[in-house]
Amino acid sequence: MKILKYESSNAQFTPWTSSYLDVAKALIELIETDKLSVLHFGSTSAMVGGKGIIDLSVLYASGQIDLATARLKDLGFQDQISDQPFPANRPRKDGAVVYESTRYLIHAHVIEIHSDNHKKQLAYKNHLLNNADAREQYEATKKAILASGINELQQYGDLKSPHVKSVLKKLS
């Protein structure tokens, strides 16, 4: 599997398919080392339709952020393409892959293992996987944002954030 150039596009609703799990599994096998683990999180990990971007967390031990970012760079991931990038202490690297003739966008979040961010990602993923109503509500939120005419990725993400934060607040 080769990491290709990331090309940002407008948000659109893409129904969930099991191919997301196959792509994530292949990426995890590519990225993981004896010092780095990878978590597939977000909509594509939890049977929720949405933008169809595969979110991964590249998890490093305390003090090893440079190891994680260097690994992603060596594999071909690029710096985040955004007007509001994540901070240097919690970067995101972007890439794309072609898997079975379909192009997939990848967001690789570099996160310290067992950090609050990591725990929140796990909690939200498990909540969605274990709750069909939660998956339906999350999809409905995304569809409503798009139906309002918002399709720029940053703005779309900002508008779905309150939904995610309200669920996380209930889970904590």
Written as six digits, the tokens of 104 are 């997939």
Say if residues 64 and 71 touch (Cβ distance below 8 Å).
Answer: no
Q: Which residues have C-beta within 8 Å of that of residue 86, sequence separation ≥ 6?
A: 80, 92, 109
How many whole angstroms separate alpha carbon 44 and alpha carbon 118?
A: 17
| pLDDT tens profile 122-165 | 999 999 999 999 999 999 999 999 999 988 888 888 898 988 88
> What architecture (CATH level 2) is domain 19-171?
2-Layer Sandwich (3.30)
For the chain, domain boundaries: 19-171
User: pLDDT tens-digit profile of 33-90?
Assistant: 999 999 999 999 999 999 899 999 999 999 999 999 999 999 999 999 877 888 888 9
Neighbouring C-beta atoms of residue 106, cutoff 10 Å: 23
